[in-house]
Amino acid sequence: EPEPGREPGQPAAGRPEEDYARKCEEVLQLQEQRAQQEELLEHLAAEIQEELNERWMKRRREELELAAGPGLADTDCDTTELSGGEGELHLEHERVKTQLSTSLYIGLKLSTDLEAVKSDLDCTQRAWEDKERELQRL
């Protein structure tokens, strides 16, 4: 709690060690929060990838069912080969389009995550440098 007449963020007169210890604890808390956020991001990225894979497989099965005709059993749709080169070429084209759109989505997500982590790291680095300067003054 700030002392009366003292600006927030300014060290208390006669207690720089306590202020330094408090700021060090804040840095440690920020680092812990960043680690938790990174862990959450990894978990979310894994969930998103799993969902994208499931959607791709579902789309692939539907495309195979449509290309093979209504008489094809569901178990036969798991194969990647169809009779006729035109159907295979179309399916390969769609598969590549799906992979590209998935890669783009993942790339954009990773870029956004990287920017957030970089921002957190910059903030932590600035706090660390402030603590280091304060320690040198002591």
The C-alpha atoms of residue 103 and residue 99 are separated, in whole angstroms, by 6
H-type alpha helices, the chain = 16-68, 85-137
Q: What is the pLDDT of residue 80?
A: 47
Tokens 């059993």 belong to which residue? 73
CA 97/CA 64 separation, integer angstroms: 16
Look at the pTM and tell me if it is higher than 0.85: no
Residue 138: which of 15, 23, 2 has the closest Cα? 15
Which pLDDT score is estimated for 36? 92
pLDDT reported for residue 82: 46
What residues in the chain have per-residue pLDDT under 70? 1-14, 69-85
Residue whose structure tokens are 């700030």: 2
Token pair of 88 as six digits: 């295979």
Q: How far is CA 14 from CA 26, 34, 131, in A?
A: 20, 32, 17
